[in-house]
């Protein structure tokens, strides 16, 4: 088996074998968070894989317990404290450029999800053609609990896969989905035992069959969708939305309460506006909101809390 390794001593591993390029974020000590340097390496890897005539498909994965858990919080915090929000704008634009490259790739891109795909990691996976998970995988958008918003395409790609209301449910509550829940919701295409994850992803990347997404519309899921479709985020945050005595809906509403209201309102606006426009225009809306989203007191409180590894949840000011 011929293998060509092109990156060494870096945070991204790249190799080609049997027509499949495997790209792995290799920062297990920080759960494969994406920094500007890692982003550059990923973009180089994808450009090389797409241009390589030997490559028929691409597998994207993460080393260790996580797939990718989002952007480098310390980078964000440094930019906020130095009042250089333009750096976050530039970083966000670069991430969008990479995810557009993945989304438009003429070669299949398969997300190999063996662990947590949170925040930006969830968004990276949604740009791939196929999502294959092991039972250990998990998915979530925790951003509103940090005073910020999912800015790497999440508000737009997720709503086009599971619908606007269920995307609001995920982003307003910060709920973490298990692999089984993500499969039922129609987020992932397939869940396989961990010892079959690598071979399944490679087979799909080589052109093999893959099941379509199939959302299982349980009564509980349908009720959650109706609830988040018919109530504004201010009422959910205040706890005044009518749950009709449904305990699951009451728990979901309670999960919204500790989140940043300014971040929640921004997410609501992005999803609502994005639903009335094209994906390309919706993605542009996310980039255009970076200054607004990261200049709030809530964003600073949330990022500082996470950087200091605070216990519990940050207390937001609502501004």
Residue of 71, 76, 226 lying closest to 150 (CA atoms):
71
> Is 220 designated active site?
no
Question: Active-site residue among 81, 84, 93, 143?
Answer: 143
**Cβ–Cβ under 8 Å, residues 96 and 44:** no
> Is 143 designated active site?
yes
pTM for this model (two decimals): 0.94
Full pLDDT tens readout for the chain, 319 residues:
344 445 545 899 999 999 999 999 999 999 999 999 999 999 999 999 999 999 999 999 999 999 999 999 999 999 999 999 999 999 999 999 999 999 999 999 999 999 999 999 999 999 999 999 999 999 999 999 999 999 999 999 999 999 999 999 999 999 999 999 999 999 999 999 999 999 999 999 999 988 888 888 899 999 999 999 999 999 999 999 999 999 999 999 999 999 999 999 999 999 999 999 999 999 999 999 999 999 999 999 999 998 887 667 888 988 8
Residue of 70, 209, 227 lying closest to 163 (CA atoms):
227
Question: Would you say domain 4-216+258-307 falls under CATH 3.90.226.10?
Answer: yes
**Cβ–Cβ under 8 Å, residues 56 and 207:** yes
What are phi and psi for residue 173, nearest 5 degrees? -90, -25
Question: Active-site residue among 84, 93, 123, 292?
Answer: 123
Give how far the C-alpha of residue 265 lies from the chain's centroid of Cα atoms, to the nearest Å: 19
Could you state, in order of their start, the residue ranges of all structural domains in the chain?
4-216+258-307
**Cβ–Cβ under 8 Å, residues 189 and 213:** yes
């Amino acid at each position: 088996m011929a293998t060509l390794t092109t990156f060494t001593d870096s945070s991204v591993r790249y190799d080609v074998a049997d027509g499949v390029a495997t790209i792995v974020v290799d920062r297990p000590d920080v759960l494969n968070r994406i920094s500007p340097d890692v982003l550059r390496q990923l973009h180089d890897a994808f450009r090389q894989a797409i241009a390589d005539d030997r490559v028929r498909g691409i597998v994207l994965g993460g080393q260790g317990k996580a797939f990718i858990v989002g952007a480098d919080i310390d980078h964000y915090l440094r930019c906020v404290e130095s009042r250089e929000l333009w750096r976050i704008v530039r970083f966000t634009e670069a991430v969008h450029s990479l995810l557009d490259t993945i989304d438009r790739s003429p070669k299949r891109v398969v997300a190999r999800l063996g662990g947590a795909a949170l925040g930006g990691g969830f968004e990276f996976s949604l740009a791939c053609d196929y999502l294959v998970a092991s039972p250990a995988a998990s998915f979530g958008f925790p951003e509103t609990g940090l005073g910020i918003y999912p800015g790497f395409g999440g508000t737009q790609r997720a709503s086009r896969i599971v619908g606007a209301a269920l995307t609001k449910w995920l982003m307003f509550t910060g709920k973490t989905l298990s692999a089984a829940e993500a499969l039922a919701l129609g987020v992932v295409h397939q869940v396989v035992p961990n010892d079959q994850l690598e071979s399944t992803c490679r087979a799909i990347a080589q052109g093999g069959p893959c099941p379509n997404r199939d959302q299982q519309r349980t009564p509980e899921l349908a009720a959650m969708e109706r609830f988040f479709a018919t109530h504004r985020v201010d009422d959910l945050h205040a706890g005044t939305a009518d749950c009709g005595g449904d305990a699951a809906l009451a728990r979901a509403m309670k999960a919204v309460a500790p989140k940043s209201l300014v971040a929640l309102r921004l997410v609501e606006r992005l999803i609502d506006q994005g639903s009335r426009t094209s994906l390309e225009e919706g993605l542009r809306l996310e980039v255009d909101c970076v200054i607004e989203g990261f200049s709030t007191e809530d964003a600073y409180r949330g990022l500082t809390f996470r950087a200091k590894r605070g216990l519990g949840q940050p207390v937001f000011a609502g501004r």
